[in-house]
Amino acid sequence: MTHLTDFIVWNPDLTAFFGMRWYSLCWLVGLLLAYLIVRNLYKQQKIKEELFEPLFVYCFIGILVGARLGHCLFYQPDYYLSSGTHFIEMILPIHFLPDGGWKFTGYEGLASHGGTLGLMIALWAYVKRTGVKLWTVLDNIAIATPVTACFIRLGNLMNSEIIGKVTDVPWAFIFERVDSMPRHPGQLYEAIAYAALFFIGMALYRRHPEKAGTGFFFGLCLAYIFTFRFFIEYTKDIQEAFEADMILNMGQLLSIPFIIIGVACMAKSMKKTQ
């Protein structure tokens, strides 16, 4: 028989230091590491330095805008599209109060599927402006993306959000900010999986650098991440009430197109290499 004391009690302070939240810090660290990794890849591939500099701005804006709109439109359209003030809350990191005032909240909802779509659109715009080959950009970003994804999920863990279902596995977390039940640490599962993908991708790149620019790493990143996302959803609690009666939840439905695209890109790359 298991007792609550057998599990990991989780209730960290949301603030890291100097008023910065752990979630924001994880985002920044993840983006910084991706920036350094892609910069190094550009140097190895002898792509001009001036062509790299705009890339970070495009990626940052694409991910942030896409992740925010993805959360609001995929998960809470009934709220954010119900009034003008709620629509403004979708765009700006604020919340309007009943007395007519407002308060700064930060972007409390960000969806990885929307962030991925926003990133792809941003990279297309970057390619149109700079002339760097699309598949080269996509592959380089894909090699670094798992690092950012890993740190974002660690940020979710620090926030005690996107929690798993109740379980009695010995590594279950009791998220005290949520309730007193032991649950799957779904965020940690994803963080570990994405860290593993980064090392797999780097090992493959070192062994087969000629695959960079064929779409192989882009396809691998999409297929791996969203296949894992599809199955990890079975360990997670639903994020919104409307998902309760769905056979596949919203996260799973949104994962399927990305898996198909990823597999198609890898197949195309293998044909091109042969």
Binding residues: 153
d(CA 58, CA 80): 25
For 115, the 3-state DSSP assignment is helix
Angle (CA) 160-67-171 rounded to 5° is: 25
Rg of the chain on CA atoms, in Å: 20
Can you say how many angstroms the Cα of residue 77 is from the centroid of all Cα atoms in its chain? 20
Cβ atoms of 23 and 67 closer than 8 Å? no
Question: Residue 95 has what DSSP assignment?
Answer: E
SS3 96: strand
CB-based contact 116:258 (threshold 8 Å): yes
CA distance 274 to 101: 63
Angle at 158 between CA 57 and CA 197, to 5 degrees: 60
The whole-angstrom separation of Cα 18 and Cα 126 is 34
**Nearest residue to 74 (alpha-carbon basis) of 262, 221, 249:** 249
CA-based end-to-end distance of the chain: 57
